[in-house]
Amino acid sequence: MSEFPPNDKQQTLINSTEGLYLVDAGAGTGKTFTVTRRYANIIDQDGVDPEDILLVTFTNNAAAEMRDRIVTQSNYGMRELTDAPIQTFHSLANDLLEEHGHAAPTHLGIDDRITGSTRLIEDALIEKALFREFINQFIDTNPQYDDFFAAMSDASQLLDLIKELASKGIFPDAEGWHRDGESHLDGEFEAFESLFEQVNEPRNDGSKQSALRSKLYRYGQNKVYTPEAPAKEEIRGDGKQVPTGVAARVFEEDRSELKAFIHDVYHAYLSFALRRNYLNFSFLQLFAFVLLCEDHDVREAVNFEYVMIDEFQDSSEIQFKLSLLLAGTSNICVVGDWKQSIYSFQYADVDNIREFEGRLERFAAELNSDHERIEFPLSPVTRRKLDTNYRSTQSVLDFSEHALTTPATGRDSVDVAAIREKVTSLTADASYDNSVIEAIQSEDEQEAILAKIDEIVGNDRYAVEGDDGELRAPKYADITVLTRTRDFGRELLEIANQYDLPMAYEGGIEVFRTNAAKLLLAWLRILERDADRGWALVLEEAGCTIDETQAVLKHETYPEAMVEFREELSELETLGGVARRVFECYGCEGPTADVVLHTIQSVQETTTLTRGDVIQFIEDAIEAGSTHDVNAGAGTDSVTVQTIHATKGLEYPIVILANMNAHKFPSSGGRGGNIMYTDPVGLRQRKHYSEAHGVPYIYDNWKVDVLRRCLPREYDEERRLLYVAITRAENHVIFTAGDSPNTFIEELPVEITDVEPDLSSFDLDLPESTPFEVEITTQAGTPRFSPHTFIDEGVFEDGSGGRGMEFGSKVHEFAEASALGESVTPDGRDETNVQSLLDSLDGDLHAEKQAFLPLDVDGERVTISGVIDLLHVTPERAEIVDYKTDLDRRAESEYQKQLSVYYHVVAELYPDREVTMAIFYTSDGERKPIEPLSKTELRELVRGVRNG
């Protein structure tokens, strides 16, 4: 960035030191430069000391950089600024608690102290392990909450909820909730109702049902509701809209017990953490807030005369409130760019910057409700803009704006005019504009990326600006590959290594998703209980096909060398030793394996985990994709791969925006995952538990099912992510996609070119073979054709699939309910038919059974397999039932072929029974008998498939 001297707008801001400022500083507009200059300007005034100015950043790196730059721009030296409050919210909170906050927990009715030895738990996985320890203990000592835990699939999700509440400033105290916290848990009916009405508007001038009604057409499917749950027809109504009364009906619920439960878990966990002498990031801010809120002397003692907050779009609700408590005057300056707000999962709330004035008023009023805590005036707020971009060409800047208004899905409608109005367009400072903006698509996307990089390097078409300001041909180091997911980047890196293309991954790697960690997990599973899941992976690694693996698992004929290795491992005393031996055996070395080893050892040291717990820990780590920094020594001239989130603030001459594929880039917005969630619908539990007929049983909560459908999916943050990625580029932007380009890339004003990657000039360097040579001698290993293969080959028409599986699980559900003496209200056509079918049957039911039929075709052994929807066995008969909708009736003859595969298997299984087949139609409940084809006829079919 060449921004010397400051431009007019920067200079104005640098000079405006008194009063409230909201600064819209877009990408590459010299924000850091201006902020540090402003800081230098303030500090050079008479009577102002470094400790009077708070400068908040969001990363420690940013804080260090700010400090460096201030030193070069002010009369102060590094030594004088060492203790200056230029830091993150978290480290500020840490300092505050250390100095003044030992008694902070008492304000929440917790009789424990924060001490100098209180640790900060930074590793999310370690905290999760500690939380699990806590919650198990809590469950044991609080039997009154058994109902709640019974309805939860994973109690550790409560930790996410606690952290979310903490980020909003909702804390428990001894009696209830701190200050007005509880009101946020109740939700607001008006807010919910307006959401409800929005999604319940009929579309196409009233001729089309509302989005909500459309979504609810599957209400109750694969669900078991309590008998009081209204029928689908009642919920959906018979017009174009869901009846208005439904909004109130789903909202109204007595949540007092649920709130009490959450309160007690939350409060007990805070106590547990303090007792065990640790805090997490959230609790650091929580106690700092409580301290500043309740201890008026401390608050007044730490007040700052000037407050500056950088990257304000990344702040959370509690951080906004903390800022107000920390400010002693109205000299507050927040700097940020709403277009770059991409950290909502870290509780960043983009409305802090978008609705700045409104929130300022509201938060201050809340804080002043019982005591004058914010004493300075809240207006006027002066808005300022920085709009000269020193990074990119005008082409890149103009193009980047499209990202903010691009529909993310086929039906996503964007209010283009409204967004454009809020965007401050940037003007490029660059004197040239040579940008190439292009998109490529290939079945082998990763190879295509490597080929593209090879094409770019040394190519004047992609010229970049050199240190002397002249354009020159690009090097590897000029290129960065940005992806949304770490997965893709890691795989790309592996392939690049195979082709010897210089590439380095920057940022945290999901070390537990590497092969080394998966192998370790597999062997631990084998040691623990000979688990099939462990053996399967180990066998696969040794080169077994899926069929061979299945055969080995079934007969437990594990290869001798592997059994010996297991014995060897079982004699090792520590898990660290096991890990080391496994890695040694498979030749896993290097920094990644070291990190896995180190983490396993430290988990065992800090907690009291058994081997089974460690298995669970690794499973969590894989699932959570938890990352650890790995120092992979990269060469000097190499391509950088990183996630978009990791690149904020950085810039590269050439950006390759990869993996622009459907289901990859525009991912789930909205809210999901947690079983409990808040705002605007209040605290809810997804399932609830009830005692019926003395047998515990869990029902789905129909109200939550409806509520969730009222909360629309938002893609705004996805668009901003795309924007952030594009604005990293100084000169060129290249999008890449596989065979399913997403809507974004298709809607952006860039042409997509199909390419065939040519990597023939590279030397392919494949990894070594595995340590176990396995020879499997069973019938398995021959090609196996499933009915789906037939479909793929065009022998059967498409149209089979999910219904049968759904039917199978329905059968389980209903049968289980019936065994428990439950009465489940059949809801909808499918359920009614399942129920009537079950009523008409006696004997044994087998749902979702897989069958394999071996056939000799032209002297070769071929196995055909498939899933049986339902097998009904009585002493006399065995009936195969396939479940179809009316939709499929026309394909009856095709299903006859499929069912016949099962027929012969069942006939062999039950030689003394009469085997029959039937298709059960859901539309009218008709049960239609089907005649089986002979083996000869099936052989003919296989021949047809194989000969094309």
Residue 180 vs 443, nearer CB to DNA = 443
Site for DNA contains 650 (CB under 7 A): no
Site for DNA contains 214 (CB under 7 A): yes
Quick one: how far is CA 226 from the chain centroid? 31
Residue 48 vs 805, nearer CB to DNA = 805
Query: Coil, helix or strand for 589?
Result: coil
* Contact indicator for 208, 241 with CB cutoff of 8 Å: no
CB of 804 to DNA, least distance (A): 8
Site for DNA contains 376 (CB under 7 A): no
Query: For DNA, which residue of 296, 693, 890, 928 counts as binding (CB under 7 A)?
Result: 890
Dist CA 404 CA 412 (whole Å): 13
Q: Where are the alpha helices (H) located in 732-786, listed in sequence order?
A: 743-747
- Tokens linked to 754: 């199909």
Q: Which stretch binds DNA (CB under 7 A): 103-111, 152-160, 479-487, 930-938?
A: 479-487
CB of 745 to DNA, least distance (A): 13
Query: For DNA, which residue of 802, 875, 929, 948 counts as binding (CB under 7 A)?
Result: 802
Residue 346 vs 369, nearer CB to DNA = 346
CB of 204 to DNA, least distance (A): 3
Kindly report the backbone phi and psi dihedral angles of residue 652, in degrees, each rounded to the nearest multiple of 5, phi listed first. Answer: -140, 145
Strand partners, 866: 851
Residue 792 vs 856, nearer CB to DNA = 792
Residue 137 vs 668, nearer CB to DNA = 668
Site for DNA contains 668 (CB under 7 A): yes
Q: Which stretch binds DNA (CB under 7 A): 140-148, 209-217, 296-304, 474-482?
A: 209-217
Site for DNA contains 319 (CB under 7 A): no
Beta-carbon neighbour count of residue 598 at 10 Å? 14
Instruction: Name the burial class of residue 508, with classes exposed (0-12), middle (13-18) and buried (19+) by CB atoms within 10 angstroms of its CB.
Output: middle
Q: Is 839 left (phi over 0), alpha (psi -120 to 50) or beta?
A: alpha
* Residue 551 known to bind ligand: no
Query: For DNA, which residue of 31, 37, 38, 215 counts as binding (CB under 7 A)?
Result: 215
Handedness of CA 54, 647, 422, 201 (dihedral sign): negative
Site for DNA contains 87 (CB under 7 A): no
Query: For DNA, which residue of 380, 625, 767, 794 counts as binding (CB under 7 A)?
Result: 625
Pick from 862, 869, 941: which is nearest to 906 by CA? 869
* Residue 339 known to bind ligand: no
**What track of x and - describes contact with DNA for positions 710 through 739 (by CB under 7 A)?**
-x-x--------------------------
Query: For DNA, which residue of 663, 760, 763, 875 counts as binding (CB under 7 A)?
Result: 663
Dist CA 64 CA 572 (whole Å): 45
Dist CA 643 CA 658 (whole Å): 10
* Residue 151 known to bind ligand: no
CB of 558 to DNA, least distance (A): 30
Kindly report the backbone phi and psi dihedral angles of residue 347, in degrees, each rounded to the nearest multiple of 5, phi listed first. Answer: 75, 10
**What track of x and - describes contact with DNA for positions 7 through 46 (by CB under 7 A)?**
----------------------------------------
CB of 855 to DNA, least distance (A): 24
Dist CA 228 CA 251 (whole Å): 16
**What track of x and - describes contact with DNA for positions 522 through 541 (by CB under 7 A)?**
--------------------
Q: Which stretch binds DNA (CB under 7 A): 206-214, 353-361, 649-657, 858-866?
A: 206-214
Dist CA 331 CA 308 (whole Å): 8
On the CB side of 370, CA atoms within 13 Å amount to: 6
Site for DNA contains 708 (CB under 7 A): yes
Count of H-run helices and E-run strands, the chain: 38, 31
Query: For DNA, which residue of 52, 429, 705, 879 counts as binding (CB under 7 A)?
Result: 705
Query: For DNA, which residue of 446, 800, 896, 898 counts as binding (CB under 7 A)?
Result: 800
Site for DNA contains 709 (CB under 7 A): yes
Site for DNA contains 450 (CB under 7 A): no
On the CB side of 584, CA atoms within 13 Å amount to: 8
* Residue 29 known to bind ligand: yes
Dist CA 211 CA 257 (whole Å): 33
Query: For DNA, which residue of 107, 178, 452, 484 counts as binding (CB under 7 A)?
Result: 484
Q: Interface residues for DNA in 393-432 (CB under 7 A)?
A: 409-412
CB of 788 to DNA, least distance (A): 8
Task: Report angle CA 262, 267, 272 to the nearest 5 degrees.
Answer: 125
Kindly report the backbone phi and psi dihedral angles of residue 596, in degrees, each rounded to the nearest multiple of 5, phi listed first. Answer: -60, -50
Query: Coil, helix or strand for 171?
Result: coil
* Residue 30 known to bind ligand: yes
Number of residues near DNA (by CB under 7 A): 63
Q: Interface residues for DNA in 110-139 (CB under 7 A)?
A: 124
Instruction: Name the burial class of residue 835, with classes exposed (0-12), middle (13-18) and buried (19+) by CB atoms within 10 angstroms of its CB.
Output: middle
Residue 412 vs 429, nearer CB to DNA = 412
Pick from 492, 491, 495, 502: which is nearest to 457 by CA? 502
Burial 723-753 (b: 16+ CB within 10 A, else e): bbbbbbbbbbbbbbbbeebbbbbbbbebebe
Residue 80 vs 234, nearer CB to DNA = 234
Rule CB under 7 A: which residues touch DNA? 58-60, 88, 90, 124, 204, 207-209, 214-215, 217, 240, 281, 342, 345-346, 409-412, 484-487, 507-508, 624-625, 627, 643, 645-646, 662-664, 667-668, 670, 672-673, 686, 705, 708-709, 711, 713, 743, 798-803, 805-806, 829, 884-887, 890
Question: What residue numbers does the annotated binding site for ATP cover?
Answer: 25-32
Question: What residue numbers does the annotated binding site cover?
Answer: 25-32
